[in-house]
Chain A
Amino acid sequence: MNKARSKPVNALAMHGALILYTLIALFPVFIILINSFKSRRAIFREPMALPDAESFSLIGYQTVLKQGDFLLYFQNSMIVTVGSLFFILLFGAMAAYALSEYRFRGNTLMALYLALGIMIPIRIGTVAILEMMVATGLVNTLWALILVYTAQGLPLAVFILSEFMRQVSDDLKNAGRIDGLSEYTIFFRLVLPLVRPAMATVAVFNMIPIWNDLWFPLILAPAEETKTLTLGSQVFIGQFVTDWNAVLSALSMAILPVLVLYVIFSRQLIRGITSGAVK
């Protein structure tokens, strides 16, 4: 163990800084959560106070669950996020494997072309995307969102995953070939499990922006039956009056599923981030 690191003063300072950071990061979430359980008047009078017997109210949740088809929005968001992640990981991993494993003409060029997407924000092409979706009749379907998010996530996914695929032992893949496994079996059974941490990293990086996105749902799928949670919550924010109880309750509920997905991926994520550094 490093001596400098084990000094109690340093350890204290380090933990102090980390705890402070955690508090700052969690504070807005905490405020949203406590205020979602308070009556409208209590929110404005004492925004920092915890709900007590007098100020406690579930009015926000009641409004959210009554008005608008909240469960449907929830389901839409879930379908879009999970579907997009599935396609990003599947196609991203396959492309990354092809780029890192096979020698073919234009390999480097193809890798650069795919990486280019990282530098160009997809929103620049919104108008063209909308025209395309209208032409193909995909407007107001969840597929429109899934396709766009898959395209948006692929460049970074290919970039990160191909780096990790290169580290998978050649001997292992060759052993599989000699034992008569098909290239698909080698990919799915031998290579994918070994790059699981990298896949989790890619999943988390993509999941949160997709879940929170307002732009594309608003433009491509604003119909009632395809609204996502973020778009659905907007009904409570009016130009003149905003139903804060409902907004805060909706936000509180929107945090939950991301939290669950994050917990699932996070163990792998930490390994994914650190594995390159401490190998």
Chain B
Amino acid sequence: MTALSLSSVNKSFGDVHVLKDIELSVEEGEFVVFVGPSGCGKSTLLRVIAGLEEASSGEIRIAGEVVNTTPPAKRGIAMVFQSYALYPHLNVRGNMTLALKQERQPRDVIAARVAKAAAMLNLEDYLDRYPSELSGGQRQRVAIARAIVREPKLFLFDEPLSNLDAALRMNTRLEIANLHRALGGSMVYVTHDQTEAMTLADKIVVLRDGRVEQIGSPMDLYNEPVNRFVAGFLGAPAMNFFPAGLLSPGDRRITGLRPEALHVDPDGPLEVQVSHVEQLGGDTNVIAQMQDHQITARLFGQHAITEGTRLRLGYDPARAYHFDETGARLG
């Protein structure tokens, strides 16, 4: 069964058309990530699904039911916010149980669900604390626990890791992945961080300017991007683009090469001048200039390359992508 399906959903604020004909379906138990640059409409789309914004047109179905006019609390969803949004006047237990009390769940059901969620997220020792007495990571765990206790048909995450520092972000990311495995719930997750998208998603939805650019599994998108935008957005460091005419005069296409597809080759076709080297231990990122195009090469292992040297880089032609002037992928 589909947990969520959107058909030709549009949203405008006055004259500004924010979401344009969104078509999407989320299968039961699937982890779907909306990713895109800021201002692409991904958060608005999530808010439309949650019912916090009304869609201007189109149909939203959650677990088969049309919910366009259903208030957020009755949609069978739970949401985790970027800023945690814990109720400051309630302790952790109060935060977790508020929605269940609103639903008039029996006392023993509430207690059982709180105990289960607290155990999953290691919150047993904090149940009587107030949000102001918790660290950022703990607050986000409480926010996630508050979503879990509702046992929703659909989980919504709005950039839940953006306020956490790097180390904590990695841990919490793992925790969310484990939760998804343990609960098997359907989840929609919004982020602008392509690493989170690649690592968590079963299916990634790439958005740009309110339009869906491509939908697919992380490896599909990485290996077969439909256009230059998707190719450049996923993968770190980002894909290199340069006019194919630089290598074979007269060719009007644009060539895209992933940094990891490049290697040092004395007979290689790309002649570059190294402008900066990033030594990461496991990898070495070489940032170089080819005429006035910046080329990044990701070399495995450690390489002693100094700034200013001239290098030749080679690549496997089978790993090159080609785009036309509008950015669409060619063959």
List residues of chain A with CB under 8 Å of any chain B CB: 169, 171-172, 174-181, 189-190, 193-194
B102 within 8 A of A: yes
- Which among B47, B85, B88 has the highest number of chain A CB atoms within 10 Å? B85
- Pick from A177, A178, A190: contact of B87, CB under 8 Å: A190
Contacts of B99 in A (CB 8 A): 178-180
In the complex, what distance in Å separates the CA atom of A179 from the CA atom of B78?
Answer: 8
Instruction: Indicate if the CB atoms of B102 and A180 lie closer than 8 Å.
Output: yes
Q: How far is the CB of B92 from chain A (nearest CB, A)?
A: 14
| A193 and B103 within 8 A (CB) | no
Per the bound structure, the CA–CA distance linking A98 and B295 in Å amounts to 53
Contact, CB under 8 Å: A171 / B85: yes
Q: Note all chain A residues with C-beta closer than 8 A to B51.
A: 177
26 contacts between A and B (CB under 8 A): A171-B82, A171-B83, A171-B84, A171-B158, A172-B83, A172-B87, A174-B47, A174-B50, A174-B72, A174-B85, A176-B87, A177-B51, A178-B52, A178-B73, A178-B77, A178-B78, A178-B99, A179-B73, A179-B99, A179-B102, A179-B146, A180-B74, A180-B102, A181-B98, A190-B87, A193-B88
Q: With the chains together, A26 CA to B19 CA distance in Å? A: 62
Chain B residue nearest in CB terms to A174: B52
Q: B102, A175: Cβ atoms under 8 Å?
A: no
Cβ contact within 8 Å between A179 and B85? no
Which residues on B sit within 8 Å (CB–CB) of A172? Answer: 83, 85, 87
Contact status of A189 and B73, CB under 8 A, knowing A177-B52, A180-B99, A180-B103: no
Q: Which residues of A contact B84 (CB under 8 A)?
A: 171
User: A178–B103 contact, CB under 8 A?
Assistant: no
CB-CB < 8 A to A193: which residues of B? 88-89
Secondary structure class of chain A's binding surface, majority of residues:
helix
**In the complex the two chains form, is A194's CB within 8 Å of B102's CB?**
no
B75-121 contacts to A, CB under 8 A, are 77-79, 81-89, 98-99, 102-103
Residue of A nearest to B102 (CB): A180
CB of B132, distance to nearest CB on chain A (Å): 12
* Contact across chains for A189 and B89 when beta carbons are under 8 A apart: yes
Nearest-neighbour CB distance to chain A for B80, whole angstroms, equals 9
Which chain A positions have C-beta within 8 A of B52? 174, 177-178
Measured CA separation A194–B89 after assembly (Å): 10
* Given A169-B83, A179-B146, A181-B73, 11 additional A-B pairs, CB 8 A: A171-B82, A172-B83, A174-B50, A174-B79, A177-B52, A178-B79, A180-B74, A181-B98, A190-B89, A193-B88, A193-B89
| Chain B neighbourhood of A178, CB < 8 A | 50, 52, 72-73, 77-79, 99
- In the complex, how many angstroms separate the beta carbon of B52 from the nearest chain A beta carbon? 5
Q: Which residues of the partner chain A approach B81 to less than 8 Å between Cβ atoms?
A: 171, 174-175
The complex places the Cα of A169 from the Cα of B88 at a distance, in Å, of 12
Instruction: Tell me the complex Cα distance, A273–B219, Å.
Output: 54
Contacts of A177 in B (CB 8 A): 51-52, 71-73
Nearest to A103 among chain B residues (CB) is B13
Cα separation A176 to B102 with both chains bound (whole Å): 11
Could you say which residues of chain B place their CB within 8 Å of the CB of A175? 79, 81, 85-87
Across the interface, name the chain B residue whose C-beta is closest to A173.
Answer: B85
CB-based contact A179/B98 at 8 Å? yes
Nearest first, the 10 closest Cβ-Cβ pairs linking A and B are: A180-B73, A179-B99, A180-B102, A171-B85, A171-B81, A175-B85, A172-B85, A178-B72, A171-B83, A177-B72
